[in-house]
Amino acid sequence: MSSADASPPHAPPVRAVVRCHVHKFGGSSLANAALYQAVTALFDDGARQSAVVVSAMQGVTDALIALLTAARAGQDWAPAWHGLQQRHLEAADRLDEHGRHGLRETLGHEFATLRDELAALAGGSAESEAIALRLPGWGEVWSSRLMQAALGGEAAGWQRLDAREVLVVHPGELGVAVDWDASHARLAAWRAQHGNGHVVLTGFVARDAQGRATTLGRNGSDYSAAIFAHLLDADALTIWTDVDGVLSADPRLVPDAVCLDSMSYAEACELAYFGAKVLHPQTMAPAMQRGLPIRIRNTLNPAAPGTLIAATSQPAPSPVKGLSLVDRLAVLELSGAGLIGVPGTAERMFAALHRAGVSVTMISQGSSEHSICCVVRADQAQRGREVVEAAFAEAIADGQVEGVRLTPDIAVLAAVGDGMVGTHGVSARLFAGLAQARVNIRAIAQGASERNISVAIAASDATRALRAAHSAFWLSPATLSIGVIGPGQVGRALLQQLAQALPRFAEEGRLDLRLRAIANSRHMQLAGKRLDPDAAIAALADGEPLDLDRFAAHVRAEHLPHALIVDCSGSDAVAAHYPAWLAAGIHVVTPNKHAGSGPLPRYQAIRAATRHGGTFRYEATVGAGLPVIQTLRSLLDTGDELTEVEGVLSGTLAWLFNRYDGTVAFSELVREAHRLGYTEPDPRDDLSGTDVARKLVILAREAGRELSLDEVAVESLVPEALRDVSKDEFFARLHELDAPLLARYQSARAQGLGLRYLARLDRDGRASVGAASPAAGHASLHSRLTDNLIQFRTRRYADNPLVVQGPGAGPDVTAAGVFGDILAIAQTLGARA
């Protein structure tokens, strides 16, 4: 990595005058010399005094522990030692190019000391224990020297303090504890000698009361930073890391995790307990004692404000601040009727676990007192089971207690937030999100503070549960992951309409439609976050081979609450996937008529799948953008009875028959309609009447009739001799349509009638489509060129039928009908669009 690559922009200056600002850098921020140089720009923040606490370079502590292990085991540690030395010397050469700080010589001496210590360990020295305690801290010592050189050394006003000179610690019940009086006194002495200027400090290392070098344990550098912020009486503490701040969830599991603006100490402690990568509670203790705010920021993105952790947090849109998972757990459950009303049951159980050294993560007990369960670490679960069984052996033998049941492979999901306190419906949102993801809850715990709700779930459901819970609190309830199949004329028009509407939806913040996949008959393009609708079709050029199962699995993303597939393909093979998609909870919207008019068993399977899965919307299958299905559904749902359907169900045929008056040959009108894009690429698809028949079957089935396509009497306008010829030959012989149509038209006119291509479903369920001669007052004779027109006769509309009329052809109006169905689904999910 070059220096230019590593250099972040300058940090924004601190607005208020800061007397003392403590900065801490983790190993990922100090992986190489370029990063040491880059972070020096972050201290120009106006603080009167800066203190920089450094971790070892990335990976160095682990390397030192590996050297320690190898030396103790009698293995060859020399190559690894040499590689570690070389890494630091290369950094020294870059940071102290002219040798003004003597960095290479100093590091050489210290690596020689490390080599002697490793040799002593390998030889079984009497000092082995002391060496083992101080050896892992070498990385911070070297890192502090590199940082001091990067900052310009003493000549630039930067002193270096080895924390072992001042920091005195001793073991405590909860880990390493600070001897504050001794440490204050030692620091005062050091400052009397070196002044109160800027200082680079070693993190992680300290001395015990006997003066022996030791460490503060893992995450010790963060702890060191908080300790020195306390000792230096600082009024600002910034922990620099490799993320923009504290995230709402693990971004490796939840791609939509957001950076939190602020957290309270209590929130941070709760999340840290449940394994979130925040700060260790021990780290926050010194800051909490003084009420010192801690800010988490990104070394490589200092323009980001980061996360502020303080006594109280700022109000946030979500009552939950963070979600965290603890895995590798198990549930221990003690149950039995003999437990009801018996005092001391919980005490006996947990005392047994305590004596056995079994750590309890979570406790849950029902008000019936019939059972009590707790969540423990998986590696302690069997021991926990044995000691509880021993503690209740007599009651188990007497049948008062059923025994101890152990459920392995458990994870605990915790939702944490000060905003949960007193807020109605938090649990409901969490549980609804888990239910949507089909996650079963094994146990629940919530403290009286209401700041934490924890649920035990199967480990196999952990990631899905975390993503579902996150979407329940941080995403719009109507966030839909969308996949579009079939970017033909309708598909393209839909993408254009999406591109126009999405900015408005984003501004309103009520609806999040995420186009994440697109496919044609051969290829598909899957996007982790989202596809730009304007560029989606072009992205197919770099797509992978079509796999509809993988396509659907991608759209049904676990981190997003809802999934929707829009099928604009017109493919029967795609329609065959609808039952499985719907059963998996994927909503389906389509203008594809094959699902609604195809084999009756498949249609019934689709209907069955919608009862417990996704929603199926298909308004555009009959009337393009007209509310035909919606109108019929409204009639039936309000108790009306359908007696007859009749109308013009093809915009193409409507245009042809509205234009045809015998003066222009019918074949010429067909050619013109083809040029205008009103017909399918092969006009026989329109002229055959099959498309109209499919629409009639859809309406009949919507009305409860079990009608199949082969039961519809269909009159084709294509002469039998032209039905199986090539498309080119069909166009060459198109004039063969003219004489039969002219004769039909003249016959109708002679009787004072018109000529239209109508679909009809009568009271007895008979269905037919074909050329008909309606009377002069018939509504179809007074429609506009491409209008679809559907007449519903019902018990309520017996004498004067209910008519739905409007444009029934064209990709734009069909796409609008599809878009309307998408929005209808979104509205059922809570959107206001």
Choose among 129, 130, 214: nearest CA to 167: 214
Helix, strand, or coil (residue 369): coil
Contact status, residue 131 vs residue 119, Cβ threshold 8 Å: no
Q: Are strands 175-178 and 49-54 parallel, antiparallel or unpaired?
A: unpaired
Q: Is 801 left (phi over 0), alpha (psi -120 to 50) or beta?
A: beta
667/778 Cα distance (integer angstroms): 26
Tokens 């996704």 correspond to 614
Choose among 65, 118, 111: nearest CA to 91: 111
Beta strand extents in 658-701 (DSSP E only): none
What are 523's strand-pairing partners? 545
* Residue 544 CB neighbours (<10 A): 13
Q: Give the total residue count for the chain.
A: 833
Torsion of CA 739, 744, 747, 750, to 10 degrees: -100
Provide the angle, in degrees to the nearest 10, between the axes of the packed helices 426-436 and 462-474: 130
* Helix (H) and strand (E) counts in the chain: 32, 31
Choose among 688, 832, 823: nearest CA to 769: 688
Contact status, residue 334 vs residue 261, Cβ threshold 8 Å: no
Q: What is the per-residue burial (b if ≥16 Cβ within 10 Å, else e) of 103-119? A: bbebbeebbeebbebbe
Please give the C-alpha separations between residue 257 and each of 249, 251, 253, 475, 564, in angstroms, as whole numbers: 5, 5, 9, 10, 22
Burial label for 336, CB within 10 Å (0-12, 13-18, 19+), is buried
578/1 Cα distance (integer angstroms): 50
380/559 Cα distance (integer angstroms): 32
Contact status, residue 256 vs residue 560, Cβ threshold 8 Å: yes
Q: Which of 24, 321, 593, 695 is catalytic?
A: 695
127: which DSSP letter? Answer: T
478/690 Cα distance (integer angstroms): 37
Lay out the sheet containing 642-648: strands in order across: 713-714, 767-772, 756-761, 642-648, 787-794, 802-807
Q: Is-catalytic flag, 727?
A: no
Contact status, residue 253 vs residue 463, Cβ threshold 8 Å: yes
Choose among 591, 627, 615: nearest CA to 814: 591
149/103 Cα distance (integer angstroms): 8
| Residues involved in catalysis | 695
